Chain A
Amino acid sequence: DAGITQSPRHKVTETGTPVTLRCHQTENHRYMYWYRQDPGHGLRLIHYSYGVKDTDKGEVSDGYSVSRSKTEDFLLTLESATSSQTSVYFCATGQGSAETQYFGPGTRLLVL
């Protein structure tokens, strides 16, 4: 267990409100990832980080932004939540995708 926590674990919000999800790791892993998981789809990459202040987009980045001001924290922000962003969000960490990734417990987000 790589010591990855996510907060909050559950959130209900209204369309148009900003939402920030936090991922915290204690393993000093270089890479951190944000995924969303929806029925009928595999896990899809939203954004990832390869170091402090170094981030890049994934395949479903529209409507999301991220920040990584220190190694242990990776924040995912929905600037103005939409119902299509209702999903389960997973954070993962690792030393590179050619290496094992360690997943957080997930955050279940409902946008009404």
Chain B
Amino acid sequence: KNEVEQSPQNLTAQEGEFITINCSYSVGISALHWLQQHPGGGIVSLFMLSSGKKKHGRLIATINIQEKHSSLHITASHPRDSAVYICALNFGNEKLTFGTGTRLTIIP
């Protein structure tokens, strides 16, 4: 059973485009994380949110608790944004449940 679904699985866009990556889940959560995995394999945490919206530079993360849905937006995309973006859920315990990721490729 997939508790977390990400879409699309793959996304290719031109430099400068506005990017949206989606994460949907089926049961209540206490927090949602967005992570970025670089082509070299390293994983960094981008956002942790439990309500509303957070912004960091060109990245914006939103969550709608009632609809059980979160989006990660990238404005003015750049080839260096090419990576796998991973959504992870916390259900109120010590663990995270991870989505399978969205592979983003930005073409110059």
By a beta-carbon cutoff of 8 Å, the part of chain A in contact with chain B is: 31, 40-45, 48, 50, 56, 58, 88, 90, 92, 96-103, 105-106
Contacts and interface: CB of A to CB of B under 8 A. Distances in A.
Contacts, number: 56
From A40, A56, A92, A97, residue with most partner B Cβ within 10 Å: A97
B98 A101 contact: no
Given A88-B41, A103-B45, 9 more contacts: A42-B4, A42-B88, A45-B95, A50-B94, A97-B93, A97-B95, A98-B31, A101-B45, A106-B42
Interface residues of B, number: 24
Contacts of A103: 35, 42-45
A45 B96 contact: yes
Contacts of B45: 100-103
A100 B48 contact: yes
B50 to A, nearest CB: 8
B98 A31 contact: no
Interface string B1-41: 00010000000000000000000000000110101000001
Interface of B: 4, 30-31, 33, 35, 41-45, 48, 86, 88, 90, 92-101
Given A42-B4, A42-B101, A43-B86, A97 B96 contact: yes
Nearest to B42: A105
Contacts of B90: 97-98
Contacts of B35: 103
Nearest to B30: A98
Contacts of B92: 98
A96 B94 contact: yes
